[in-house]
Amino acid sequence: MRPIVIAANWKMNTTPADAGDLARTIASRTRVAGVTRVICPPYVSLATVRDALVGEDVAVGAQNVHHEPAGAYTGEVSTAMLAGLATWVILGHSERRAYFGETDALIGKKLDRAVAAGLRPILCVGEVLADREAGREIAVVDAQLRGALDGRDAAALAAAGIVIAYEPVWAIGTGRTASAADAAAMADAIRASLVALGWGSVAEATPVLYGGSVTAANVGDILGQPSVDGALIGGASLKPDEMAAIAASAGITAAARGLAS
């Protein structure tokens, strides 16, 4: 049975002075049976958020990690530095790809490093608008998955609890969401890609999240799709009212799937 996951990606928002209160407020307002909750603050707030969440069943994630274990990489953060601070990590976010030149090959190396460190990866994939308008969104996402996952051990990635997040670039921060049917179709396509990569039954067991302008208003339709297992939330994840309603919706999905008991 795949879990229902709601993951907050705060991106480059909040400061250590306010992140703890925000995390605590969100945690207290999103307690819903059967839903796995993750908050991914900026690196500098990981410790604050971890401390704020003591006693709450909310995991802390990093938004990125470097692929090398240590060395002369000014400004970067290694998996060893995240020990005790984060248990999840977002990898290959489209903003990392677009603004920091991350390639599928690099993201694959980060996956290896994250898994070796016992971090649970959220691997992000998604097409730009021109790809969707040209009808090649599935081919683009398939190539991203292949580029990051080909040759890697599906069993090890499954044991690490890998989650795939489908985030169409044109839907991120734009207020424009993929239709629930399009999100579901891509989740199915992602699992088909995993099968083609030799993942076998691990493909069906891999959670696929949707991300891109998720709000309380649209999450219900998206989570109503049996192939979609949760959401990666940007802008709305900074708003406790939104997160409370998103979690409530996720709880309905969890109950419907028999996860809530």
> By CB under 6 A, what part of segment 39-68 binds ligand 13P?
none
Give the residue from 46, 47, 44, 64 showing the smallest Cα distance to 113.
Answer: 64
Considering Cα of 138, then 140, then 142, then 145, what sign does the dihedral take?
negative
Indicate which residue of 95, 127, 137, 167 is catalytic. Answer: 167
Can you tell me the distance from the alpha carbon of 39 to that of 222, in angstroms, rounded to the nearest whole number?
Answer: 20
Least spacing, CB of residue 247 vs ligand 13P, in Å: 15
Q: Is the dihedral of CA 87, 189, 220, 172 positive or negative?
A: positive
Minimum Å gap between C-beta 250 and ligand 13P is 15
**Angle between helical axes of 240-256 and 16-29 (0-180°, round to 10):** 40
Stretch that binds ligand 13P, among 65-73, 153-161, 199-207, 211-219 (CB under 6 A): 211-219
Is 67 noted as a catalytic residue in this protein?
no
Establish whether 167 is a catalytic residue: yes
Of the residues 93, 95, 102, 137, only one is catalytic, namely 93
Nearer to ligand 13P, 86 or 197 (CB): 86
Least Å distance, CB 9 to ligand 13P, is: 4
CA distance 261 to 254: 9
Q: Which spans of this chain sit near ligand 13P (rule: CB under 6 A)?
A: 9, 93, 167, 172-173, 211-214, 232-236
